[in-house]
A and B are shown apart, each in its own frame.
Chain A
């Protein structure tokens, strides 16, 4: 799962502020704006920010007070969103209308190793 997959709709509101400001934003600035626009409680905003930090989506930086910067740019995020949307279309419906080679991205590294060990044609290769 990439960084972009980990952002919920509520957390997105915080990301929008960071992307717009294009410079580190303090907790109180975020809080004041969201309390005005969304009517959220301080504790809610606190939780959302903490989650984003834990997931590595934003970075926290202390300079008297804590400032936050995004770890993913808006363009990267929207491209992944688009890819997620496409993937959902494919996995949901489109794959029934096309002839593909295989299913990509569903196997773990250990799975791949297992299959590589498994698939050995005899006769002079080893």
Chain B
């Protein structure tokens, strides 16, 4: 595969992941008010991590679920339209000439490239394709560099922690420092994590609570989670849901951390822990001028955390089991939504049927009843709702997969007739959806000369085809059933 083909495949995968993640996050947002106070915070945190996985793991590239979801038409639109210049040229070549682009002669190539550009009103697809990753990478680099400067300044100005503080650390722990630049205690660093404390005075109790909190973050690798979430936000920079999900992950992370800390504390310990949080949130260095209360985000989240501490209790076994079940169900939903786009390879009749069902006027009642293969192209005869039926052409992509190319349908009191171009040859294809068919008669008039009537077997509703003449022609065709009725 060329570079551009690989790039467009990656971007299609990113768009599908973006959609999967958005839909699943909507589901979780809808569930949130119901489960918020009944499921352990750590379970809610894991649920949001699953959503993050939906944004980052392209299930559709390695799992295939032959089922249509309401998202499937959107996925089809993505598959059909996000293509590199070369892929568009190839598709148009197949539709117009029935062979691949490289087999065309120069005039035909110009026609395809010119028509394609003109018809789609856009200049250079390859160029547009690059915007998505380039902007995402640039934005991520900017954020990363700002973080690295921050981490560097923090590190170069750091002071050693005091003896009593170091004594509070367990055997296995990250390093501990004080810093005049830190505005809150924090765990910093992906590979060599260290806890930084603002360079102020702490009581023993405050230190214990602070360290319990940061050590829990350390054990859970929450810094790595934050890095991954930030990466996801930049890969999906164009999708507002990614930002909402990151904010939820941040909130859920802190709530889950608090939950783990207070799990092993009695009421007095919990009171002390909450007090420490409030004290840390207050700022003695720069007192705010505003005397009245605010409605700011920070106050709301802190209040939520305090409420969670007040209501914390050990979860019942049933609740844990329910939570695990919910996690599994969520994973199932993610895989289902994410992977169900893979059937666009129409190499099996089931997939061909599914593909037709996504076409807007067809729908779930579409079934394929007949098929015929002409020169490695598959022509499927199908019936659908509203008393309609039709023919669909699936072109071979050369590597064993098939792609939907075109279709035509009619009311079932009419006959279906299409001209298909397959490998540079033209065929006329006829089909009727009547009971007890016997044969069909096809008569060509070429350049004014009426030719012989060709009689073709139409039993069992076979799809019938003939070579189409290259010159100007007109054709008359009739179907006959076993009782001698004629259809036209």
Q: Footprint of B on A, CB under 8 Å?
A: 1-2, 82-83, 86-87, 89-90, 92-94, 96-112, 114-116, 118-125
Bound: A112/B246 CA distance, A: 27
* 16 residue pairs from A and B, CB less than 8 Å apart: A89-B150, A93-B143, A93-B144, A97-B226, A99-B217, A99-B253, A100-B185, A102-B298, A102-B302, A109-B287, A111-B294, A112-B282, A114-B299, A115-B281, A115-B303, A123-B267
Which residue numbers of B lie inside 8 Å of A, CB to CB? Answer: 142-144, 146-147, 149-151, 153, 181, 183-188, 190, 198, 210, 213-214, 217-218, 222-223, 226-227, 229-230, 246, 253-254, 267-268, 270-271, 274-275, 277-278, 280-283, 285-294, 296, 298-299, 301-303, 306-307, 309-310
State how many angstroms separate the Cβ of A2 from the closest Cβ of chain B: 6
Tell me if A104 and B183 are in contact (CB < 8 A): yes
CA distance A100 to B189 in the complex (A): 12
Inter-subunit contact B299/A102 (CB<8 Å):
no
A-B pairs, top 5 by smallest CB distance, nearest first, are A105-B283, A93-B146, A94-B150, A99-B217, A100-B186
* Complexed CA–CA distance, A116 and B144 (Å): 37
Dominant SS at the B interface? helix
Query: Is A101 touching B223 in the complex (CB atoms < 8 A)?
Result: no
Chain B: which residue is nearest A102 at the CB level?
B281
Q: Given the complex, which residues of B lie within 8 Å of A123, measured CB to CB?
A: 267
Least Cβ distance of B225 to chain A in Å? 9
Nearest-Cβ distance from residue A26 to partner chain B, whole angstroms: 32
Q: What residue of chain A has the Cβ atom nearest to residue B196's Cβ?
A: A98
Are the C-beta atoms of A86 and B181 separated by less than 8 Å?
yes
A103 to B283, CA, bound (A): 10
The residue of chain A having its C-beta at the shortest distance from the C-beta of B277 within the complex is A102
Contact of A99 with B153 at beta-carbon distance under 8 Å, contacts A93-B143, A111-B299, A120-B271 already known: no
Whether A97 contacts B292 in the complex (CB less than 8 A), given A102-B280, A109-B287, comes out as no
| CB < 8 Å neighbour of B296 from A106, A112, A114, A119 | A106
Contact B293 A98, beta carbon cutoff 8 Å: no
Residue ID in chain A nearest B224 by CB atoms: A99
A residues near B285, Cβ cutoff 8 Å: 105
Min distance, Cβ A100 to any Cβ of chain B, angstroms: 4
In whole angstroms, what is the CA distance A122 to B310 when docked?
Answer: 8
Indicate whether A101 sits within 8 Å of B306 (C-beta atoms), given known contacts A120-B271, A122-B267, A123-B267. Answer: no
A98-B223 contact given A121-B267, A125-B268, CB 8 Å threshold: yes
Q: Contact: B186 with A98, CB < 8 Å?
A: yes
- In-complex Cβ contact of B274 among A1, A89, A100, A119 (8 A): A119
A94 to B285, CA, bound (A): 21
Which residue of chain A lies nearest to B306 when distances are taken between CB atoms in the complex? A119
> Contact between B303 and A104 (Cβ–Cβ < 8 Å)?
no
Across the interface, A92 reaches (CB within 8 A) one of B146, B187, B301, namely B146
Smallest CB gap from B151: residue in A: A94
